[in-house]
Structure 1
Amino acid sequence: MNPENLYRQILDNLGNAVLLFDRGLRLRFLNPAGEMLLDTSVAKALGQPPALLFGSLGQHLARNLRTTLQTGAPLVERHVPLQQGERTQTVHCTITPLFEGDRVAAAIVEIEPVENYSHLSRDHQAQHQQAAVNQLLRGLAHEIKNPLGGLRGAAQLLAQELDSPQLREYTDVILQEADRLGTLIDRLLTPHRPPRKQRLNIHQVLERVRQLLAAEYPALAFHCDYDPSLPLLEGDFDQLIQVFLNLARNAAQAVAGEGEVKLRTRIEHRLTIRGRMHRLVLRVDIADNGPGIPAELGERIFYPMITGKAEGTGLGLSIAQALVTRHGGLIEYRSRPGDTCFSVYLPLEDSPREP
C-alpha cells in the first residue's frame, strides 16, 4: 500500500477527531470522526476558523492554538465542555505543533470524547444487568403462572357452588386479580420472543408512535427532527413500535400530556455496543421538557417494578430495553430538570440502503 494512502486510512479509521489548523487558524484537514463530532462535513468545514466550528468553545480554542503556533509548546486540556446544537459533551483536547524545520507551520488538534469510556462502561454494566434480570424474570414468571392458573380454576369452581350474589362478588374479585396478574406475567415474558426482522424505515415506526400518542394526548406538542438520509433498518416493526411507544409515553406522562416531546434521528459512526464496534449506528432520541428523573432512581429505572409514578408498573423501560437488546442495540439516557432524553442505538451496518 502506498504510504500516503496508508496514513490517510489510519486517520480515517481513528475513533478520535483529528483536525489540522494552519498559522492563519483555518482548518486544513478533518477526519471522519471529526465530522461526526462537529456534526458537519469536510466540504463545509475546510477553511473555517475555530469560532465557527466550535461555537462557544471556539474563542478559547483559538487562543490555545495561537499559543502553540507562537511557542511550539503542546497543550493538553481535560474535561472540556463542547456544545454542538442541543448536545453538550465532555472532551479531552490535545494541541500538538507541526514543525517545518525550526518553524511551526501548523497545529494538530486531537479531540477525544470522554463519553467513549463511560459509554463502554455503561454498556458492559447494562449487558450483565440485563442478563441477570432476564434470567430472574423467566424463572419468577413461570413459578407464579402455574399456581396462578390453579388459583383461578379453584375460584371458578367455588363460584359455581355459591348461591349468594354477594359471595360471588368475592370470587369475581379473585378471578379479576388472577387475570390481571396473568397479563402482567405475559408482559414480562413477551420481550423474549425473537424479533421477526424485515426491512423498515424507522421514521414510519416513529410516525405511528406519534399518531398513537397524539390521539391519547391531544394537547401534547411534537417536534420531529428526522434525518431523511438514514438507510433502512432490519428490525421487527411491532417490537420497535412497542419500544418507542413505551419511551414516548413516559415522556408524555412526564409533561402531564401538555408539554413538548421531541423525536430526533441521527447516524453515529464507529460505536461499540456489547463489545462489538459498529461502523454505522442509528440513534433515535426521545426527549421531553418535564421535571426529570429522580436522582435516587439512577440506573435502576431499567429494572422491572422500578418506577417514579404511583400508578406505574415499572415494566415499560424494562421491556423496551429487552426488545432493543434483541435487536443488538442499547438504550441510554440523560436527565436534568427541563431536559430528559432517552437515546436508542440500533446497529445499521448490515441494513440495506434505501433503493
Structure 2
Amino acid sequence: MSAGLLRNSFKGAASAAPFFPTLLDQIPNAIVIFEADSQQLVYVNPAAESALDLSRKSLEGHNFHDLFGDNLQLGEMIHEVKSGQAPAQRQELLLHSLPGSIHQETIPAHVVIALMDDSDLMLMEWFPIDQQLRTERDERVTQQVEANKELMRNLAHEIKNPLGGIRGAAQLLEFELPEKGLREYTQVIIKESDRLQTLVDRLLAPHRKAHVMEYFNVHEALERVRSLVLAEFPKGLKIVRNYDTSLPDILGDREQLIQAVLNIAHNAAQALSVEIEAGVAQIELRTRVARSVTIAKQRYKLALDLDVIDNGPGIPADIRERIFFPLVSGREGGSGLGLTLAQTFVQQHQGSIACDSKPGCTHFHIQIPYRRQEKSE
C-alpha cells in the first residue's frame, strides 16, 4: 500500500484504497499510520479517533508529534524501527492527548511501533493497559450492585404486606379513640407508613413498568431535563449545552433515559447550593459518539457518550465508591435511590454509567450502544 493511496483514504477517497483502510477500520485498538521521514499523518482508524477524541478531518495536516508531543520514549522506538535495529518495538509508556481535544489526560498504554511493507510508512498501535483492569473492576461492581438490588427488592416485598396491615390497623384505631388529641399518634403511624410505602414503590418501580422502545432524539430528551431543573433552580444556575447535533436517533425508552439524566442533574443542582447562591453554579450536558466500544464484554460499533458535569464540591470520599448502592446518599434527607434508579435504567439499555468526582468537578459518564430493532412490515 503506497503512501499516496493511504493519504487519499485519509482525505476520504475510499475508492483509492478500498481494502486496507477498511480492514484497519474494524480493528478495536487505536492505529495511526505516518510517513517515516516527514512523520506526516496519512491514516487514523475510528478507534484512534475515539481515543484522541478528534475526528479524522480535524487531524488532517498534523504530523505524528502533534498527537503526543515530544515523547522521548516514543521517539526512541520510532528511531530504532526506522533505522532497522528492530522490525517492531513494543513498550508500555505514558501517552499525552492532543492539545485541543476534549478529554486532555495522560494515559498509560501498551504501544507498538512497526515499519510497514512500504518502508516509507510506519504504523503505531496502542491500547490502554488499564482497560482490562477497568473491565474486571466494572464487572465486580456490577455484580455487587445487582446483589444489593436483589436484596432490596426482596426486602421491599417483605415490608410491603405488613406495612399495609400497620396502616390499616392505625386507621381503625383512630376511629375507636375516645380523645381527639390521641389521634395525633395514629396520624404519625399512618404518615410514616405512607412514607415507607412510597420508598418501597420506588424500589420496585423499575421492574414493574414495561419498556417503551422507540427511536428518539437524545437532545430533545436532554432539553426536557434542562427545563425541569431550571424550573426548580431558576437563579444562580447555568446549564450548558455541549451537543453533537450530528448524532443519530437512539433506540430506547425515552422516559427512562430522561429520568436517569434528571436524577443525576437534580442531585448535582442540590449539591451546588453554595455555588448557586454565589451565582457561579454550572452543569454541562455533553453528547458525543463513541466508536468501537466494549460494554459488559459486548462489542458495539457505535455508542452514545452522554456526560453530566458540574462544578460543585464533589461527592464525599467515604461514599464515592458506593454512590450507586441503594439507600446511600451524601445529602441529609436524601433517599439514596436517585442514582440507583439511574443505573438501573441505563443498564436496562445495555449501557454503563460511571462517576469521577473531586472538589470542583463531578463527572457522570453514561454510555449507551446504538442498536437496531427489527421493524414489522
The TM-score with structure 1 as length reference comes to 0.89
Is 1:176 matched with 2:198? no
The counterpart of 1:149, out of the listed 146, 159, 164, is 164
Is 1:232 matched with 2:249? yes
Write the distance in 2 (CA, Å) between the matches of 1:315 and 1:128.
18
Q: Which moved more, 1:35-44 or 1:314-323?
A: 35-44
Q: Which moved more, 1:117-126 or 1:30-39?
A: 117-126
**1:95–1:107 CA contact under 8 A, matched in 2:** no
Instruction: Return closer, same or farther for 1:43/1:79 CA change in 2, 3 Å cut-off.
Output: closer
- Structure 2 unaligned residues grouped into runs of 5+: 1-16
**1:30–1:46 CA contact under 8 A, matched in 2:** no
Q: Secondary structure at the match of 2:160?
A: helix
Instruction: Return closer, same or farther for 1:342/1:114 CA change in 2, 3 Å cut-off.
Output: farther
The counterpart of 2:173, out of the listed 158, 162, 165, is 158
| Cα deviation digits, residues 208-265 of structure 1 (max 9, x gap) | 1110110111221111100111111122222111101100011112221621101000
Is 1:140 matched with 2:155? yes
Is 1:194 matched with 2:206? no
What's the offset of the Cα at 1:64? 4.4
Partner of 1:24: 38
Partner of 1:211: 227
Q: Which moved more, 1:139-148 or 1:268-277?
A: 268-277
Is 1:60 matched with 2:74? no
The counterpart of 2:262, out of the listed 240, 245, 251, is 245
* C-alpha RMSD over aligned residues: 2.4
The counterpart of 1:12, out of the listed 25, 29, 40, is 25
Q: Secondary structure at the match of 2:317?
A: coil
Write the distance in 1 (CA, Å) between the matches of 2:349 and 2:104.
25
Q: Secondary structure at the match of 1:136?
A: helix
Write the distance in 1 (CA, Å) between the matches of 2:301 and 2:38.
34
Q: Secondary structure at the match of 1:302?
A: coil
- Structure 1 unaligned residues grouped into runs of 5+: none
**2:53–2:103 CA contact under 8 A, matched in 1:** no
Write the distance in 1 (CA, Å) between the matches of 2:213 and 2:130.
31
Counterparts of residues 1-355 of structure 1 (less than 5 Å)? 7-22=20-35, 23-52=37-66, 54=67, 57-60=68-71, 63-64=75-76, 67-68=79-80, 69=82, 72=85, 74=89, 76-82=91-97, 84-88=101-105, 90-98=107-115, 105-192=120-207, 193-218=209-234, 219-256=236-273, 258=276, 259-350=281-372
What's the offset of the Cα at 1:25? 1.7
Instruction: Return closer, same or farther for 1:7/1:59 CA change in 2, 3 Å cut-off.
Output: same
| Cα deviation digits, residues 35-55 of structure 1 (max 9, x gap) | 222223333324412354x2x
Write the distance in 2 (CA, Å) between the matches of 1:156 and 1:129.
40
Write the distance in 2 (CA, Å) between the matches of 1:124 and 1:9.
32
One-letter amino acid matched to 1:215 = A
Write the distance in 1 (CA, Å) between the matches of 2:373 and 2:318.
38
Write the distance in 2 (CA, Å) between the matches of 1:89 and 1:204.
34
**1:91–1:114 CA contact under 8 A, matched in 2:** yes
What's the offset of the Cα at 1:123? 3.3
Instruction: Return closer, same or farther for 1:176/1:251 CA change in 2, 3 Å cut-off.
Output: same
One-letter amino acid matched to 1:76 = Q
What's the offset of the Cα at 1:87? 4.3
One-letter amino acid matched to 1:317 = L
One-letter amino acid matched to 1:143 = E
Write the distance in 1 (CA, Å) between the matches of 2:230 and 2:116.
60
Q: Secondary structure at the match of 1:280?
A: strand
